A and B are shown apart, each in its own frame.
Chain A
Amino acid sequence: EVQLVESGGGLVQPGRSLRLACTGSGFTFGDYAMTWVRQAPGKGLEWVGFIRSKGSGGTTEYAASVKGRFIISRDDSKSIAYLQMNSLQIDDTAIYYCTRDDILRWFGESTDAFVFWGQGTMVTVSS
Chain B
Amino acid sequence: EIVLTQSPGTLSLSPGERATLSCRASQSVASTYLAWYQQKPGQAPRLLIYGASNRATGIPDRFSGGGSGTDFTLTIARLEPEDFAVYYCQHYARSSYTFGQGTKLEIK
Contact = CB atoms under 8 A, between A and B. Distances in A.
Interface of A: 35, 37, 44-47, 50, 61, 63-64, 97, 104, 106, 109-115, 117-120
B44 A117 contact: yes
A109 B99 contact: no
Nearest to A112: B92
Contact of B97 (A47, A106, A117): A47
Contacts of A110: 32
Contacts of A61: 95-96
A46 B99 contact: yes
A63 B96 contact: yes
A115 B47 contact: yes
Interface string B8-46: 000000000000000000000000110101010000111
B51 interface: yes
Interface of B: 1, 32-33, 35, 37, 39, 44-47, 50-51, 54, 56-57, 86, 88, 90, 92, 95-102
21 contacts: A37-B99, A44-B86, A44-B88, A44-B99, A44-B101, A45-B88, A47-B99, A61-B96, A104-B54, A106-B51, A111-B35, A111-B50, A112-B33, A112-B92, A113-B35, A114-B37, A114-B45, A114-B47, A115-B57, A119-B44, A120-B44
Interface of A is mostly: strand
Of A44, A63, A110, A118, chain B has the most CB atoms within 10 Å of the CB of A44
Nearest to B36: A113
Of A114, A115, A117, A119, chain B has the most CB atoms within 10 Å of the CB of A114
A113 B50 contact: yes
6 tightest A-B contacts by CB? A117-B44, A47-B97, A45-B99, A113-B50, A61-B95, A44-B102
Contacts of A120: 44
A36 to B, nearest CB: 11
B51 A104 contact: yes
Given A113-B47, A117-B46, A120-B44, 5 more contacts: A47-B99, A97-B45, A104-B54, A111-B32, A115-B47
